[in-house]
Structure 1
Amino acid sequence: MASELGQLLKNIEECREKMITLATHSSMADDKVVEASTKLDTLLNKYFTLTSKENLY
């Protein structure tokens, strides 16, 4: 489980950096920025779901 969370955190950071880079070179409404933001939201939701389940045990 710890390695899964570690990989997930790495993916979150990479996606966040990509979104920031894309937004810096275009606008926040650009399709690629929105796509990266949506992917980041999905990753964050997965992280919070996994970590909340750990807190229940």
Structure 2
Amino acid sequence: MAAAELLEEIEDCRNHMVNLAMKTSFSDKKVVEISVRLDQLLNQFEQLK
């Protein structure tokens, strides 16, 4: 995945996580799952550097 695509996916994932957390809570199971996915994306991005 190209860096630009990865950055876009990171931003989308982050926005989704924050929006869901505002509706539920940061400890909601789905929010935690999205957070794990966001961590994976960020790790991928770091490996590209």
For this structure pair, what is the TM-score category when the shorter chain's length is used for normalisation? over 0.9
TM-score (norm 1): 0.82
**Percentage identity across paired residues of the two chains:** 45
Larger radius of gyration: 1
RCO comparison, higher one (Cα < 8 Å, 6+): 2
Instruction: Supply the RMSD in Å over aligned alpha carbons.
Output: 1.1
TM-score (norm 2): 0.95
Aligned length: 49
Stretches of structure 1 lacking an aligned partner (at least 5 in a row): 52-57
Stretches of structure 2 lacking an aligned partner (at least 5 in a row): none
Moved over 3 A (4+): none
Structure with more helix by fraction = 1
